[in-house]
Amino acid sequence: MSSPDAPVRSFETHPDRDLPNWAFPLLLAFVALVWLTLRALPEPTGATASPDGTDEVIAGTADLVPLGRNSSGYEELRNRVDGSVLIRIPAGPFVMGAEEEEAFQNEAPLRQVHLDQYLIGKTPVTNEQFERFCQSVQSMPSRKSLDWAARSGPRAPAVHLTWQEAYNYCRWAGLRLPTETEWEKAARGPQARRYPWGDTLDPDRAWHEGNSQGRPREVGVLKQGASPFGCLDMAGNVWEWCLGWEESPPDASGQEGPGRKPRRVARGGAWDSGLWSLRTSLRLPVDPRVPHASLGFRVALTPPGQASGSPPPGVRR
């Protein structure tokens, strides 16, 4: 312990001690460097997201290998990073939404939408794919996600994942989540089908509570449930996270209650849902922070810098 007579140290500047001549320019250079660094940082993804997620759609960096055309006549490509097979959906219009008596209000109105070309996963992302992601980024999935993976098998959809976990997987793979518009076009085609296979309900073409035996099922098995483009499991098996938000914003008053928190939207129905969930226009608003055993996802991709008649960068002939 110092004596009472010991000098007391002070952080005040001594009036007789001026900064050296080189210090002020160095300080200015440091401030400029910090400003430039902060200026270059990207805005948080989804901070001001549009309802359909168009401001979150980015060109991916996937390493794609062509596989030829599927039985529906559309090109398929494999992503080397995660093994996903993607189907090229051509540019053009399609009819979106519903105005039927059984449709919910958030499905209306029935309207025509034009989309540029894009790629979308042929099936939902599987447990074995998500495990590869976790090993690559040294991350551990939740205990419930692991339990469902063990119960359903490596080729079943990965479930019990938050929206952010699905989003992170897509970024790792050089891909992204599909927008709702992209998802619906891939599911129903240009003809506005009520179900991926047509306008008539056929319970044997999808996994639902009546035939799933209480768990997600292996992807790609029910080929009779394919969409017009050859996408599988777009009705039943798992609800699938999409980009964007539900149209209705949180209540300006800030009060808690139904519909007062921002929600993402999942599509497609699930293994634990009834036949009502299989329609292609059905929208399920979900809190993005809440995982569930019936919630999974599939990937999508914007072909980066694609010129007419040529493959997008990253595609190997």
Strand pairing partners for 121?
Answer: 86
On whether the CB atoms of residues 56 and 300 are closer than 8 A, the answer is no
pLDDT-based confidence at residue 55 (cuts at 50, 70, 90): low
* Whole-angstrom distance, CA of residue 278 vs CA of residue 267: 9
* 28 is a domain residue: no
Annotate 115-138 with DSSP letters as a single string: E--EEEESSPPBHHHHHHHHHHHT
* 192 is a domain residue: yes
pLDDT-based confidence at residue 191 (cuts at 50, 70, 90): confident
pLDDT at 62: 87
Give 129-161 pLDDT, tens digit per residue: 999 999 999 999 899 999 999 999 999 999 999
Q: Residue 286's domain is classified under what CATH number?
A: 3.90.1580.10
Q: Model's pTM, two decimal places?
A: 0.78
* 137 is a domain residue: yes
Give 209-230 pLDDT, tens digit per residue: 999 999 999 999 999 999 999 9
* 252 has pLDDT over 50: no
Q: How many domains does the chain have?
A: 1
* 100 is a domain residue: yes
Give 287-307 pLDDT, tens digit per residue: 999 999 999 999 999 986 653
Q: Give the structural domain span for 122.
A: 54-250+258-301
